[in-house]
Structure 1
Amino acid sequence: MSLKHTTLTHIFGILLLTPSFAEKMLNQLADGTLAPLSIEESLKHIEVPNGFKLELVASEPMVQEPVCFTFDSDGALFVCEWNSYMQDQYGTDQDKPVSRIVKLTDTNGDGKMDKRTVFAKDLMLPRSILTLHDRVLVRFTHNSTIWSYFDDNGDGISDRKEIALQGSSVGGNIEHQDNSLIWNSDNKIYATGQIYQFRDGKLTQQRSHGRYGQWGLTRDDVGRIYGSHNSAPLKNWFNLGGYPMGNPSLAKETFKANFTCEVDDATDSGRNVTATGGQTILRSEQFGELKGALVIPDSVRRIVKLVTLDQNDGQITPATHDDYKNTEFIRSADTYFRPVWTGMGPDGGLYIADMSRGIVQESQWFPTERTKNPNKDWLERYYRTKAWGMLKVNSRGRIYRLIPEDSANLESPIQLSTVSSADLANYLEHKNGWWRDTAHKLIVCRNDKSAIPNVRKLLNSNNPFTRLSALQILDFYSSLEKKELKSALKDMNENVRVHAISLSEKRFTSDPDFFTLVSNLATDPSPFVVAQLYLSTEKLNTTDSINLRKQIVSSHPNNIAVASLDRKKNKLRGSLKKYIPGHKIYQSLCIDCHGQGNQGIESMGKLFAPKFTRNSRMADKVYLTKVLLHGITGPLGENEETYSAGIMPPMGATYTDQELADVLNYIGRRWGKWKKDISADEIKVIRAATSERKLPWTYSEAKSKKS
């Protein structure tokens, strides 16, 4: 049984205790080292909200180094293990293909996994996984290819694999590479940086508007996608999946870490989150009033944070729940509690992957005595964790589930893989999101039209999420009739109307009636409907569509969503309009550290990274190119400016010469007063000339004409 929250902030959440302040830390032995707790003891020190309990689902040796997971349609858990990740402080042999995907099964229905099979082995750090009707999609580190794995004889071990979508090698830090695969309401599969569709047994890449976040991805019942970034628990939500991203400002309270473990190995004293990712939206009735809130782990702060998602004038507004303004949803004083991933289970519980290890920092940001020009604070962290004995704690792992104390209302597993497509339609009416998503996914991926009659009946369901799923499935099979879509545009539920507008888009050209029909919604009382109307007509470059959007903007002055969309659309003006490709890269790559470029982002009392205004370095094309290709570390400029980020990672292996030229031209034209663009060929020459460079530059090296 885990501890419950107290009414006052836990004392360890008030101060960051270092060895000089702590009399004795939870894990500390007589020699000063921090020993791992037993599974039972560790569980006792994980505090959860009143009314809930945390149960162990699996632990080492059944699962080791879990980084992400997914459930199949029968309730089995597929877990990606990073068995080579930071096995010592130097990241020795990290790129050795020894990682695994394990399949965990609960054979007796008691909520604990009791059967384990190694589904696939000798892998390169698997980072994305999704089960479909007859295969498991997997993506690995350092390559964008997506593979299909098949278990033909049902023994829990993959028998064969084939390429689902050919990709290419990917360079750069493993923390920055694309990850996650989730099924969305629009019949598409989303990753942090790409969108795919599975149709007729084939996976194809779809148009994307940039990168949603860094590690992990989730969706809500409507189909909005929510990303995150280390120090930002929410990023790039706003619209339905597949539409341009919005990134509204977050209230300062949502960044706060209201609990700090005694052993906090971040380099700052800890008041904000610093390593968030692996988020989930609570989409089951078992969570009562918390249903619809977002939860996200922070493995450095040893917490799982909860953020409510309130609706305000067409915008989803994140806020801190009143019960967690001075605490966190889940927290632990155990040094080795390292939550990195969450997901909803078929039982309605929240599942949490805990790596239960010492280091959760990739080697590029974990300098040691071998590192040239290390960040001083980071190096001190290394010696601190070494003295505590944390470097040797690895090859462990736990998976927990958070469920109500009264577990009588948990859902019982059903083998949905054996249910006919026609009967799967019944599960589209389920009250919990996991069941609706899984039934939806199976109906679409099986390519079985026998489900269509039963799905059509669901257009009259009392559940609005069922109705919008039925619309999307019928549209996938080209079976959605005009009268049905017209009716959906008048649906009593705003979310159904939003989806109906979206589905009308591709009919604007072939059937002009639909533009007229959606135009009637310009005065709709729902701010979300008019925001979607603005988005859905953006692609139409007609006088009528332009006038419609002007009408929407003028008629809804208090609609935050519409105002934001209109500003974003018109952001690049005059001479900058031709640099939209570079602007898009900047918005997805650079903005997390440099902000909008004018003011920068403040962290730990100073700028996280340089701002670009009144920065003479922005005029130096060669310097900027070298920095983007190979990164830079240490003080910058003649005045030796320091920034809390400490290092800019290299981007040369991740981005092409043309992409680097695009973003440099945008930056140079906007802030560097460039009169002439840099070409991809010029980037190519500088790349070749510096190809021997293995480490990030120092400022003097990057400015040197000899390097």
Structure 2
Amino acid sequence: MLLTNACKQESYNEPIISLEKYHIKEGFNLEVVASEPFIEAPVTMDFDNQGRMWVVEMRGYMQNLEGTGDDMPNGRITILQDLDNDGITDHSKIFLDSLVLPRAIAHVYGGLLYAEPPNLWFVDIENDKPANRVLVDSLYSGNGNVEHQPNGLMMHIDNWIYNAKSKYRYQKKNNKWIKEATTFRGQWGITKDNFGRLYYNTNSTQLIGDYVLPNTIIKNTFYKPEEALSKKLTPNQRVYPLHPTAINRGYIKGRLDKDSILVNVTSACSPIIYRGDKYPESFKQNAFVCTPEANAVKRNILNFSSNKITAKQAVVGKEFIASTDEGFRPVNLFNAPDGNMYIVDMHRGILQDKVFLTPYLKKLYAKKKLDTIIGMGRILKVTNQNNTNNTTLNIANFNTTKLVKLLYHNNGWFRDRAQQLLITQKDKNAIPLLKNVLNDTSNSIAQIHAMHTLNGFNALNFELLEKILYSNGDSSVISHALVLLEQFAHENKVTSVKKITEHLFLKNNTEIDLYTILSLGRWVTLSKDDMFPALWQISNKYKKDLLYQEALINSLRGLEEDYFLYLNKNNKNSQDNVFTKVLDTTLTNKKNYIKNSVYGKKGVKQNAKSAGQKIFKNLCATCHGINGEGVENLAPPLKNSEYISKSSKRLALVILHGLSGPIHVNGKLYELNTTMPGLVNNPDFSDKDIFNIIKYLQNTFSDAPKPINLDQIKKLRNIKPKNGGVFSETELLELEK
């Protein structure tokens, strides 16, 4: 069945929204497909199998400058309908209501997964109504700030559901929900490319990404990769608003230019890799990023080179979309079944949560009357003027044969959804059809989807993958086959795998070499004698490349000493090899039992019920990590930090008044484009609270706590930064002299 823009059968009242203040790249149109009164304060959405939009409404967020009422159960998940088929929402119906600040949804396993902090729920859908609610995770998010809680819920090609601002992934298998550790990623929003690499960001870094497939390089518990994950892809964070910009701490030098226009992003969120089929070829796998503080959407062109990725602004000095409408708050982007990109516009004046809202911005909001832009919300669609066919398929009733054919679709949305529907429906008639796709080397993307669909069916085996690995197929297909092959590790297959690695090495392909060395871990455990030579042969070829040496340590997994002996015995060791440093780090961590934070404990071990710990978990851990390890591109580590151990006065000043970079921690320079806000003007935090935070930080992350009392903290409230904003490291050090 086709949903088309047919002639109207009935007349409906559809709001008319002007977009005169919006500028979009030439050749594209911007359309309003949903708006108030049908939705209010939308933060995310998803499409169902009929192509309908399901929207999460965070109605309780910052209804006024004081932020009162955010605990009201007024959030909703709404189904938007276009009953007259003209492309514009004319009806809506509530699927779930009475929610407190809901933040994420995903149509998976024939039902709906949704997040309402602190819980993650799953419900079946019966006649557009929820049924059989199941609690997936009671600890999906803590009770922290609304801007720093897990979100995203993206079903991936590997059949796992990934999140932003989280170190866990989820999967439903044999009617049981599985929660598994993964790399901590981003702040708000997560996306993927056609190969399966993940992308995300932080407020101050517009695009961050992984060079490798998820959970393939974190299997050595005593080494945390530096080169493969959480890589800053954009060389600068420039943004180009069309008007003076109202941002937090705009008084800090360098935040705004002489015309009060924002220089670098401060609220970047929700990147999307465009995987649709309606835009020109040059737009495929471009990265679009929301910058709601600048009332804009950015476009970056990705470059994939030698297992590494870079991104650059598509047009220097100009955004893909920019508006002078200060209510335009793009907070999420989505690929859609019609092949276009959709924008979730929260459409409001107040963008900053009360916990971080400075008096400066509060006054600016009031002066510009931005607090009066409330009770609104839009969904916008970006269309290509040269491809106006915006029809979409209703795949709700597609049979198995049709779903398998969708794995060839040019629109990634259909490939993703078809894969999951096939796995959910469990029709074994799909297996021979999927094997046919797997053997069709004319379409590598379809092959990859077929491989993971078969894996979801538990119908994949060693022999099928072995055939792929000996084929002349695309390197991306071989890479995925190598990752999936490891689950079939068995001693009677070691000789076969040894021959496979020898065959693949002769291809002299950097991508295949990387995934070969990444995926030998279980095979190494079975036979060091057979696999050590293969590891050395590949790693030696890239002995100056940290990425490959991290891949090597990933596959050793406890056999580091044995491999070191192998190198020495065969005169293959070299002190100038990058691997030597990686090995030394791993062995040191192993000796001191310092684990990769992915495998660290879920919480800190001291003062579990203290007031200081509660504040830390809800406020500080969102940026610095629950174990104080820091978050890449967001905040430095707290463990052994001079800011924790050297001076209680310095620590108190930072907590009270805030801190901006660059700063030094443990001798390392952190040039983060972020500012830690102070709590001095926040009435929710008393001197006692500040004292509790300090005591907790020092007792947990320092071996030498320094004394401080409430009277000292009270006096430190009046020692303010010279610029009237936050402290710099230089100014803090001067105060200690």
TM-score class, shorter-chain normalisation, is: 0.7 to 0.9
Cα offset, 1:221, TM superposition? 1.1
* Letter paired with 2:518: L
- 1:89-128 alignment to 2 at 5 Å? 89-128=65-104
SS of 1:632 mapped into structure 2: helix
Using the alignment, how far apart are the partners of 2:537 and 2:719 within structure 1?
Answer: 54
- Return the match for 2:538 from 546, 552, 556: 552
Using the alignment, how far apart are the partners of 1:157 and 1:342 within structure 2?
Answer: 26
Equivalent position of 1:301 in the other structure: 294
Answering whether residue 205 of structure 2 is matched by residue 232 of structure 1, we say: yes
Change (3 A) 1:351 1:560: farther
Segments of structure 1 that go 5 or more residues without pairing to the other structure are: 1-37, 368-378, 603-607, 653-659, 669-673, 679-685
* Letter paired with 1:423: K
Change (3 A) 1:473 1:160: closer
Change (3 A) 1:100 1:317: same
Equivalent position of 2:645 in the other structure: 619
Equivalent position of 1:446 in the other structure: 425
- Return the match for 1:356 from 335, 347, 356: 347
SS of 2:347 mapped into structure 1: coil
* Letter paired with 1:347: D
- 1:24-423 alignment to 2 at 5 Å? 42-141=18-117, 143=118, 145-152=119-126, 154=127, 156-167=128-139, 170-192=142-164, 193=166, 194-208=168-182, 210-243=183-216, 244=218, 246-253=229-236, 255-266=237-248, 267=250, 268-269=255-256, 270-288=262-280, 289-321=282-314, 324-367=315-358, 379-410=359-390, 412-423=391-402
Using the alignment, how far apart are the partners of 1:522 and 1:513 within structure 2?
Answer: 16
Cα offset, 1:316, TM superposition? 1.8
Using the alignment, how far apart are the partners of 1:67 and 1:571 within structure 2?
Answer: 45
Cα offset, 1:618, TM superposition? 4.3
Answering whether residue 660 of structure 2 is matched by residue 647 of structure 1, we say: no
SS of 1:286 mapped into structure 2: coil
Cα offset, 1:108, TM superposition? 4.0
- Return the match for 2:487 from 506, 528, 540: 506
State the aligned residue count: 604
SS of 1:101 mapped into structure 2: strand
Using the alignment, how far apart are the partners of 1:191 and 1:666 within structure 2?
Answer: 28
Q: Is the 8 A contact 2:113 2:121 kept in 1?
A: yes
SS of 1:125 mapped into structure 2: coil
TM-score for the superposition, normalised by structure 2: 0.73
Q: Is the 8 A contact 2:181 2:598 kept in 1?
A: no
* Letter paired with 1:418: N
Using the alignment, how far apart are the partners of 1:48 and 1:484 within structure 2?
Answer: 48
Q: Is the 8 A contact 1:299 1:340 kept in 2?
A: yes
* Letter paired with 1:238: Y
Change (3 A) 1:306 1:526: farther
Equivalent position of 1:682 in the other structure: none
Per-residue CA distance 1:627-682 (angstroms, 9 max, x = gap): 8xx99231679xx99996243799x9xxxxxxx999989975xxxxx5x9x9xxxx
Q: Is the 8 A contact 1:421 1:450 kept in 2?
A: yes
Using the alignment, how far apart are the partners of 1:319 and 1:504 within structure 2?
Answer: 35
* Letter paired with 2:169: I
Answering whether residue 495 of structure 2 is matched by residue 492 of structure 1, we say: no
SS of 1:117 mapped into structure 2: strand
Cα offset, 1:561, TM superposition? 3.8
Q: Is the 8 A contact 1:508 1:515 kept in 2?
A: no
SS of 2:19 mapped into structure 1: helix
Using the alignment, how far apart are the partners of 2:292 and 2:321 within structure 1?
Answer: 12
Using the alignment, how far apart are the partners of 1:305 and 1:292 within structure 2?
Answer: 14
Q: Is the 8 A contact 1:137 1:149 kept in 2?
A: yes
Using the alignment, how far apart are the partners of 2:582 and 2:334 within structure 1?
Answer: 34
* Letter paired with 1:581: K
Cα offset, 1:620, TM superposition? 5.5
Using the alignment, how far apart are the partners of 1:574 and 1:667 within structure 2?
Answer: 23
* Letter paired with 2:363: Y
Segments of structure 2 that go 5 or more residues without pairing to the other structure are: 1-13, 219-227, 257-261, 553-577, 603-619, 665-670, 686-693, 721-731, 733-737
Per-residue CA distance 1:204-252 (angstroms, 9 max, x = gap): 11232x2111101111111111121111122242211233461334343
Change (3 A) 1:448 1:661: farther
Change (3 A) 1:225 1:251: closer
Q: Is the 8 A contact 2:154 2:162 kept in 1?
A: yes
Equivalent position of 1:22 in the other structure: none
* Letter paired with 2:73: P
Cα offset, 1:389, TM superposition? 1.0
Using the alignment, how far apart are the partners of 2:141 and 2:193 within structure 1?
Answer: 32
Change (3 A) 1:564 1:574: closer
Change (3 A) 1:610 1:450: closer
Using the alignment, how far apart are the partners of 2:264 and 2:356 within structure 1?
Answer: 19
Using the alignment, how far apart are the partners of 1:64 and 1:598 within structure 2?
Answer: 38
SS of 1:581 mapped into structure 2: coil
Using the alignment, how far apart are the partners of 1:599 and 1:83 within structure 2?
Answer: 32
Cα offset, 1:446, TM superposition? 2.2
SS of 1:195 mapped into structure 2: strand
Q: Is the 8 A contact 2:235 2:312 kept in 1?
A: no
Using the alignment, how far apart are the partners of 1:42 and 1:497 within structure 2?
Answer: 50
Cα offset, 1:343, TM superposition? 0.2
Q: Is the 8 A contact 1:133 1:417 kept in 2?
A: no
Per-residue CA distance 1:508-564 (angstroms, 9 max, x = gap): 235324531442224543322222222222464545544433322221357674256
Q: Is the 8 A contact 1:632 1:699 kept in 2?
A: no
Using the alignment, how far apart are the partners of 2:695 and 2:213 within structure 1?
Answer: 31
* Letter paired with 1:338: R
Task: Determine what percentage of the aligned residue pairs are the same residue.
Answer: 25
Q: Is the 8 A contact 1:339 1:355 kept in 2?
A: yes
Q: Is the 8 A contact 2:289 2:299 kept in 1?
A: yes
TM-score for the superposition, normalised by structure 1: 0.76
Using the alignment, how far apart are the partners of 1:161 and 1:600 within structure 2?
Answer: 34
Equivalent position of 2:412 in the other structure: 433
Using the alignment, how far apart are the partners of 1:593 and 1:165 within structure 2?
Answer: 23
Using the alignment, how far apart are the partners of 2:266 and 2:499 within structure 1?
Answer: 47
Change (3 A) 1:295 1:571: farther
Using the alignment, how far apart are the partners of 1:140 and 1:97 within structure 2?
Answer: 10
- Return the match for 1:477 from 457, 466, 472: 457
Cα offset, 1:311, TM superposition? 1.3
Q: Is the 8 A contact 1:58 1:398 kept in 2?
A: yes
Equivalent position of 1:30 in the other structure: none
Equivalent position of 2:726 in the other structure: none
Change (3 A) 1:262 1:699: closer
Change (3 A) 1:200 1:573: closer
Using the alignment, how far apart are the partners of 2:284 and 2:485 within structure 1?
Answer: 30
Per-residue CA distance 1:24-62 (angstroms, 9 max, x = gap): xxxxxxxxxxxxxx9866512211111111111100111
* Letter paired with 2:291: D
* Letter paired with 2:384: P
